[in-house]
Structure 1
Amino acid sequence: MTANYLIGLREGLEATLIVVLLMAYLAKSGRSHLLPKLWVGVGIAVAASIGFGALLSFGPRGLTFEAQEAIGGSLSVMAVGLVTWMVFWMARTARTLGSDLRSQVDLKAGGSGWGLAVVGAVAVGREGLETALFLWAAAQSAGSSTTPLIGALLGIGTAVALGALLHRGVLKINLGKFFTWSGAALIVIAGGVLAYAIHDFQEAGILPGLHSLAFDVSAAVPPSSWYGTLLKGTLNFSPATTWLEGAAWLLYVPPVMFFYLRSNRRTPTAAATPRPVRAAVGS
């Protein structure tokens, strides 16, 4: 649940901050009458994300076991790719996010203002679709759909509450550090999802080595134990890991983490607080 809470919190906070920036700029520029159209776009994005998640959950049913595993592995690899792109994108563009959104609002708010609904739908929908896909992949690797969903909903709920407090100026958070360290945590989580994708491909017969184990610590870390469940839920750790699964994790996590942390050192994300957000939006 912890890993999915982090996914929901980070992705939800990204989407919430985008909405907060748009709301603040509309209010500051005297276009508060366009807020309902922004919320229409946000609502469409949320509905599309929920529909996408439902399609992922119920679509593969009725297929053969091998086909389900092949589809699951492919979608998990796609989820890892999207999350990797997302954390690097945030590290690169966080400092110009406000100005980019202002430019889009100025461009789309003319006429009837329905273009603003498109801005809201695209900005929030991107985060929502990424979240749905990655949560589905995490749920598959955890072998449960209920617990990951609860964790994610709690994370999204926390993000919405934090966004409301930020918008009202009640709360100050160093968002730069939050996104840096949560991004690093997501890279480790994504490594576990990638390893499980390899396991799916092995189950489907696409890759060999299903029974060739690099290590098996099931006796020391029983999957049913509380600490085994904790490691599985937070890091997608499997007590019985094949050589290909272990190789995939090692080929992904260390190099991606190195380049991610180096990217953050080169372009440090500005610490964001409620008042600077308002000032940046209105400048």
Structure 2
Amino acid sequence: MLGTFLIGLREGLEASLVVGILIAYVRKIGRDDVVPRIWAGVAIAVALSLGLGALLTFGTYGLSFEAQEIIGGTLSILAVGLVTWMIFWMARTARGLKSELEHQVDARLDGPGWGLVAIGFVAVAREGLETALFLWSAVRSSGDAPLAWIGAVLGLLAAVAIGWLIYRGIVRINLGTFFTWTGALLIVVAAGILAYGVHDLQEAGVLHGPWTGTTGWAFQLSDTIDPTGLPAALLKGTVGFSPDMTQLEIAVWAIYLVVVGTAYARVVGRPRRAARAASNEGTRA
């Protein structure tokens, strides 16, 4: 539940902030008449994201076990790739996001402003489709689907509420700090989903070798930790650990966490290093 709540909160807040920036800007320049165009694009994007979620949830019924595991594992790995890209994209472009969106609005404000439908659509569809795929993968790996979906819904509702409060100026939060820390936590969640995707491909027989199957277990704790119990659900939903995991799952989890975590720390620390260097230069001058 915690992992899916975090996904819903982080991704939902990104979308809410983008929509808030668009609406605030067109109202600032006196074009309240085009606000419904933005909402139209947002509505289309939300409908498309819900459609993808329904397709992922119900589209594999009737397929063989191996086919379901191959699809699930492949899409889980794809989801990890997408969310990893988005985490780094946000870390690099968050500072200039407002000006970039305002420039896009200026370029499409001619006449009735129907081009803003596309802006609203793209702004939310990018987050919505990624969120649908990532949440679906997270729910599959959580071990407790109902609780995981509740966490996702609560996260999305919280994101909408926070986005509205920020837009109205009622609350102020340090968005840079928020996205930095939630990005780091999402990397941990993504590592678990990646391991679960590998697990699916192992069960389907796509990945096999001495590090999988009955001879390649890293640990088997099902006799000690109930796979359907709360501790197992918490571990699956946060760090991605299951009571039984193969050596390959552990290796993939650890490699992703070390490589991506190190790269992320360098990216988010770059502005601070630049500011420190500039301060030192000013002191010497």
* TM superposition score normalised by structure 1: 0.92
Larger Rg: 1 or 2? 2
Q: What amino acid is the match of 2:97?
A: L
**Is the aligned partner of 1:17 residue 2:17?**
yes
SS of corresponding position for 2:57: helix
Task: Give, in angstroms, the shift of residue 227 of structure 1.
Answer: 2.0
Question: Counterparts of 1:133 and 1:141 in 2: how far apart (Å)?
Answer: 13
Is the CA contact 1:48–1:125 (under 8 Å) kept in the aligned structure 2?
A: yes
Aligned partner of 2:265 among 261, 265, 271: 261
Q: Deviations for 1:148-177, whole angstroms, at most 9, x for unmatched residues?
A: 221111101001111111111110111111
Task: Give, in angstroms, the shift of residue 254 of structure 1.
Answer: 0.9
Aligned partner of 2:256 among 252, 257, 265: 252
Identity of aligned residues (%): 56
Q: Deviations for 1:210-257, whole angstroms, at most 9, x for unmatched residues?
A: 222012233443323322221122222112110110111111111100
Question: Counterparts of 2:41 and 2:228 in 1: how far apart (Å)?
Answer: 43
Question: Counterparts of 2:47 and 2:239 in 1: how far apart (Å)?
Answer: 29
Partner of 1:281: none
Taking the TM superposition and a 5 Å limit, the aligned residue runs for 1:78-227 are 78-208=78-208, 209-211=212-214, 212-227=216-231
**Is the aligned partner of 1:32 residue 2:32?**
yes
Q: What amino acid is the match of 1:96?
A: G
Is the CA contact 2:143–2:228 (under 8 Å) kept in the aligned structure 1?
A: no
Instruction: Give the root-mean-square deviation of aligned CA atoms.
Output: 1.2
Is the CA contact 1:92–1:267 (under 8 Å) kept in the aligned structure 2?
A: no
Q: What amino acid is the match of 1:40?
A: A
Partner of 2:275: none
Aligned partner of 2:247 among 231, 243, 246: 243
Q: Which is worse superposed, 72-81 or 225-234? A: 225-234
Q: Deviations for 1:98-144, whole angstroms, at most 9, x for unmatched residues?
A: 01101110111212211101100001110000000000111111244
Question: Counterparts of 1:70 and 1:240 in 2: how far apart (Å)?
Answer: 20
Q: Which is worse superposed, 1-10 or 227-236? A: 227-236
Q: What amino acid is the match of 1:77?
A: I
Is the CA contact 2:8–2:154 (under 8 Å) kept in the aligned structure 1?
A: yes
Question: Counterparts of 1:75 and 1:125 in 2: how far apart (Å)?
Answer: 18
Question: Counterparts of 2:68 and 2:158 in 1: how far apart (Å)?
Answer: 33
Q: What amino acid is the match of 1:180?
A: T
Is the CA contact 1:16–1:163 (under 8 Å) kept in the aligned structure 2?
A: yes
Q: What amino acid is the match of 1:154?
A: L
**Is the aligned partner of 1:66 residue 2:66?**
yes
Task: Give, in angstroms, the shift of residue 194 of structure 1.
Answer: 0.5
* TM superposition score normalised by structure 2: 0.91
SS of corresponding position for 2:213: coil
Question: Counterparts of 1:106 and 1:222 in 2: how far apart (Å)?
Answer: 57
Q: Which is worse superposed, 139-148 or 129-138? A: 139-148
SS of corresponding position for 1:202: helix
Partner of 2:45: 45
Q: Deviations for 1:31-76, whole angstroms, at most 9, x for unmatched residues?
A: 1111011100100010000000001111111111101100101000
Q: What amino acid is the match of 2:19?
A: V
Q: Which is worse superposed, 95-104 or 148-157? A: 148-157
SS of corresponding position for 2:52: helix
Question: Counterparts of 1:226 and 1:58 in 2: how far apart (Å)?
Answer: 26
SS of corresponding position for 1:214: strand
Question: Counterparts of 1:234 and 1:250 in 2: how far apart (Å)?
Answer: 14
Is the CA contact 2:188–2:238 (under 8 Å) kept in the aligned structure 1?
A: no
- For structure 2, the residue ranges without an aligned partner over 5 or more in a row are 273-285
